[in-house]
Amino acid sequence: MTEIKSAISIGIQLGRDVEPSLLGCHRLGAKGKSNDEIWNGPYSNDSFPEYAEDIEAGGDAAPSFSMMSEVARSLQITLVGGSISERSGNKLYNTCCVFGSDGKLKGKHRKIHLFDIDIPGKITFKESKTLTAGLDLTVVDTDVGRIGIGICYDIRFQELAMLYAARGAHLLCYPGAFNMTTGPLHWELLQRARAADNQVFGTLLCWILLFYRSSLFMLPI
Amino acid sequence: MTEIKSAISIGIQLGRDVEPSLLGCHRLGAKGKSNDEIWNGPYSNDSFPEYAEDIEAGGDAAPSFSMMSEVARSLQITLVGGSISERSGNKLYNTCCVFGSDGKLKGKHRKIHLFDIDIPGKITFKESKTLTAGLDLTVVDTDVGRIGIGICYDIRFQELAMLYAARGAHLLCYPGAFNMTTGPLHWELLQRARAADNQVFGTLLCWILLFYRSSLFMLPI
């Protein structure tokens, strides 16, 4: 529980009569929470297989998944569970689970756009070395509204946000782990653009250690 | 000539072997230039009819249009002519003319998204009181590349930029006249987002007096 609670870094209150600001959410007691990308282990191709969980099996085969379910149930909150590495058959995915306030899994998003980058002298990382890309859009109806889910680099593609907005999403949630090369260029820009362009609320959660800033909550203005 | 030259506030150099920065453009001698929205008269519904020009008739019926053509020809530049109020039959448009380096009109964009705003205590303005919305997208092939044209509030709509990018535009140019209510929220954000999302160069020109900042040149990063 402690691990999960420490990973939960933002609260979201979508009640129409409440100022939907980050501080306001914490003060008023948020009904929905989220955490960040691959929070259950180191962010490396070596570690993805080691920490991968079998979400479909659940229980001891998916300890982080099970803990999130328990957190959502015991706190009676909607929980956008950041992302963890998932093993399904012989494939690995970067996967975000969304839990209802009863602790049940309401939706699961596998990162569609894997982050392969090679900027000499800056950053080289290829998620596609170990991970498989998801194929499906993920819209989840929750107690705090209809949420469209993306993971980190998914935010780079405006079409995904447009499709979510067209499907009636109130909130777009992109758990992320940006780096210091593309982070300063894109992290705030893309989240603000997605919220303003599609007139939805937006939130993007990031790792802090070695990565860029922490969290952001966007109003659709 | 003096009026036109003073209105030209940005130079654009799209040569692939030249750093496409604003200062670099001026230093190296830009091949393309642009100016801002409704630069030929006051920005008001009272003034739009008074300053409107018959572009199709040309000559003395369109003095700003004719001057821009002469500037483009004499300087041998591509000129994105900001916008002027245009009279066509019994209708008025907010119109951007693009001239080739021979002074000939290469394309004409009529503002598609008229800016009607009513924020009590902040700003109220309704372009639709006097102006008619344009219906067509405008992509122009010029000596400096393929340019997609929008006018000010047209930038608010991501679909227009996506269509221009899909049609092969290298540069999006949005002459604008932002205000101090929506300007700080949208002016830089939207231009950066359009350039980054669609991997095109972008420029947005603004009036300075009473309005928000002056000009911006965006790289597609």
Is residue A205's pLDDT more than 90? no
CB-CB neighbors (< 8 A) of B117 in chain A = none
Six token digits for residue A107: 């939706």
Is residue A103's pLDDT more than 80? yes
The percent of residues in chain A predicted with pLDDT above 90, rounded, is 46
The number of folded domains in chain B is 1
- Predicted pLDDT at A79: 83
Q: Can you tell me the distance from the alpha carbon of B117 to that of A197, in angstroms, rounded to the nearest whole number?
A: 17
Which of B185, B186, B196 shows the shortest C-beta gap to A189?
Answer: B196
Dihedral sign of CA atoms A37, A43, A48, A53 in order: negative
Cβ proximity of A137 and A161 under 8 Å: no
pLDDT, mean of residues B71-87:
87
**CB-based contacts of B56: which residues, under 8 Å, 6+ apart?**
B88
Residue B211 or residue B128, greater confidence? B128
Question: In which residue are the tokens 């012989």 written?
Answer: A90
**The most confident of A3-17, B26-40, B94-108, by mean pLDDT:** B94-108
Tell me the per-residue pLDDT of B123-154, one tens digit each, with 9 for 90 and over.
899 999 999 999 999 999 988 889 999 999 99
Phi, psi at residue B155, to the nearest 5°? Answer: -70, -15
Tell me the per-residue pLDDT of B143-195, one tens digit each, with 9 for 90 and over.
888 999 999 999 999 999 999 999 999 888 888 887 778 888 888 889 889 98
Instruction: Give the containing element (helix H, strand E) for A120.
Output: none
Q: Can you tell me the distance from the alpha carbon of A150 to that of B19, in angstroms, rounded to the nearest whole number?
A: 35
- Predicted pLDDT at A114: 98
Looking up residue A53, the CATH number of its domain turns out to be 3.60.110.10
This prediction has a pTM of 0.80
Is residue A131's pLDDT more than 60? yes
pLDDT, mean of residues A171-177:
86
Predicted confidence band of residue B205 (pLDDT cuts 50, 70, 90):
low
Residue A97: is it exposed, middle or buried by C-beta count within 10 angstroms (0-12/13-18/19+)? buried
Predicted confidence band of residue A62 (pLDDT cuts 50, 70, 90):
very high
Q: Decide if the complex's ipTM is over 0.85.
A: no
Is residue B86's pLDDT more than 50? yes
Is residue A99's pLDDT more than 70? yes
Residue among B31, B29, B36 at smallest CA distance from B7: B36
CA-based angle A155:A12:A3, to the nearest 5? Answer: 85
Cβ proximity of B45 and B91 under 8 Å: no
Is residue B23's pLDDT more than 50? no
CB-CB neighbors (< 8 A) of A182 in chain B = none
Secondary structure (3-state) at A98 = strand
Over its C-alpha atoms, chain B yields an Rg (Å, rounded) of: 16
Tell me the per-residue pLDDT of B98-127, one tens digit each, with 9 for 90 and over.
999 899 999 999 999 999 999 999 889 999
pLDDT, mean of residues A98-120:
95
- Predicted pLDDT at A10: 36
Tell me the per-residue pLDDT of B39-65, one tens digit each, with 9 for 90 and over.
888 889 999 999 999 999 999 999 999
A110-136 as b/e, with b when 16 or more CB fall inside 10 Å?
bbbbbbeeeeeeeeebebeebbbebee
- What is the span of the domain harbouring residue B84? 2-218
- Predicted pLDDT at A20: 32
In a mutagenesis test of the B interface, which of A160, A197, A198, A221 is the best target, namely the one with the most B β-carbons within 10 Å?
A: A197
Is residue A111's pLDDT more than 60? yes
Q: Can you tell me the distance from the alpha carbon of B132 to that of B113, in angstroms, rounded to the nearest whole number?
A: 10
Q: Can you tell me the distance from the alpha carbon of A162 to that of A217, in angstroms, rounded to the nearest whole number?
A: 18
Using the Cβ of A192 and the Cβ atoms of chain B, whether some distance falls under 8 Å is answered with yes
Q: Can you tell me the distance from the alpha carbon of B89 to that of B51, in angstroms, rounded to the nearest whole number?
A: 15
CA-based angle B2:B92:B113, to the nearest 5? Answer: 95
Cβ proximity of A127 and A134 under 8 Å: no
What residue type is assigned to position B125 of the chain?
Answer: F
Six token digits for residue B51: 């300053």
What residues of B are annotated to the active site?
A: 37, 111, 152
Number of Cβ within 10 Å of residue B162's Cβ equals 16
Using the Cβ of B1 and the Cβ atoms of chain A, whether some distance falls under 8 Å is answered with no
Cβ proximity of A173 and A147 under 8 Å: yes
- Predicted pLDDT at B127: 97
In a mutagenesis test of the B interface, which of A153, A159, A186, A189 is the best target, namely the one with the most B β-carbons within 10 Å?
A: A189
The percent of residues in chain A predicted with pLDDT above 70, rounded, is 75
Pick the residue from chain B with its C-alpha nearest to A190: B193
Q: Can you tell me the distance from the alpha carbon of A60 to that of B86, in angstroms, rounded to the nearest whole number?
A: 71
What residue type is assigned to position B55 of the chain?
Answer: I
Q: Where are the alpha helices (DSSP H) in chain B?
A: 2-7, 22-28, 47-51, 63-75, 158-166, 183-198
pLDDT, mean of residues A162-176:
91
Q: Can you tell me the distance from the alpha carbon of B1 to that of B63, in angstroms, rounded to the nearest whole number?
A: 11
Residue B17 or residue B93, greater confidence? B93
